[in-house]
Amino acid sequence: MPDVNMPKLSDTMEEGKILRWLKKPGERVAIGDILAEVETDKANMELEAYDEGVLSEVRVKEGESAPVGAVIAVLAGADDVKPAARPASRPEPAPAPARAEPRPESGREPWRPTVVRRPEAAAEPEGGEAIKASPRARRIAREHEIDLRSLRGTGPGGRIVEKDVEGAIAAGGAAPKKEAETVSAPEAPPRGERRMELSRVRRTTAKRMSESKREVPHFYASSDIRMDEAVRLKATLADLGGEFEGITFTHLVLKAVGIALTRVPEVNASYDGDAIVLHDTVHVGIATAVETGLIVPVVHDCDRQPLGALVRQARALVERARAGRFESADLIGGTFTLSNLGMYPVSTFAAVINPPQAAILAVGAIRDVPVVEGSHVVPGRLMTVTLSCDHRIIDGVIAGRFLAELSGLLTRPLALVV
């Protein structure tokens, strides 16, 4: 009976969470069927069946996580399944507490940000356990000097809500005013805060970027690149349409990076313990913002693909990533990363290296600036790029050579097309 294991769906995936089983025990499974939806460190992805049979056992339930390689289900042949096998009758579930929050039957609650407010001194006890009360209930209790400890909450989980405080006021529960009370400055209104649970993608990003800044000795090299000819070339190619439909400056930079990496291969490298790995292939990841955080779809063979093919592949990858429809292969194999904030008014920034890669390129917006040409000042278009380097692999001279190659390719961009 073949096992169904938790697959490794991205380079950095260590565990996956079962969001939903699309096949139930007893159902027949064919090769290529989608068994489940899995939440990875990158996004939600589909788990495909590579064997056929009958799903006889589910070992990881919806909402539970399992490490990569763990058995999450078992397939059986049709002859192995008992025709009359039925699960033992389950005892009736115990009734939920009167004040418990209702939960969906699927076991997964829709995500909601939790609103957290700073406790109010007048409505909180001086010591002991914190009292669960809504912000409005606290404010009304403070204004009428109601001791929240004397109230019984009727909200979810025993939380004190507005009507509980108003009931106490109507019943005469307001404390008498103190006669010789010291007048203090009015208390500032409570400031709201939202507590947003980290998505799995953002948790992974936080972990890896923290490790990168802690363990990788970064240094940075920046260059201002004349983009006048690149601006004209992009406009010309966009007018041609066809394979260049939807071309952006990201695509031009992507192609230039691919060529520059072949000319300065020390940048197309990664760190592996006591060794440096120089990659023969040039696979460039594009940092892409999605609803759950940041993912990096990888454009393969950037050096060898014609610009038109590169535009099509990069556009399709980013569109799939933003729609959440990408495959695990879209996120694997990157040797270098490109992060472009040029669509925003960001002139320059420095990105954090994506280990074990040796470098990442941060691209700013194209700016209209005065440029000196000979004895004249003329209008020009400048773009600032910053290369973040792992100093264990790349020295300053190597970074300078790479930026020189990149600048030359973008300053005279016809080489990107021919």
Q: Catalytic residue at 391?
A: yes
Q: What is d(CA 14, CA 8) in angstroms, rounded to the nearest whole number?
A: 7
Judge contact between 78 and 53, C-beta under 8 A: yes
Instruction: Find residue 276's DSSP bridge partners.
Output: 271
Q: Strands 359-373 and 336-340: what pairing?
A: parallel
Q: Are 299 and 314 in contact (CB under 8 A)?
A: yes
First-to-last alpha carbon distance for the chain, in angstroms, is: 55
Chain-centroid distance, C-alpha 405: 32
Q: Spot the catalytic one: 251, 283, 376, 391.
A: 391
Nearest to 101 by CA among 112, 91, 92: 112
Nearest to 284 by CA among 305, 264, 257: 257
Q: What is the rounded CA–CA span in Å between residue 409 and residue 404?
A: 9
Please answer whether residues 328 and 7 qualify as being in contact, where contact means their C-beta atoms are separated by less than 8 angstroms: yes
Please list the active-site residues.
391
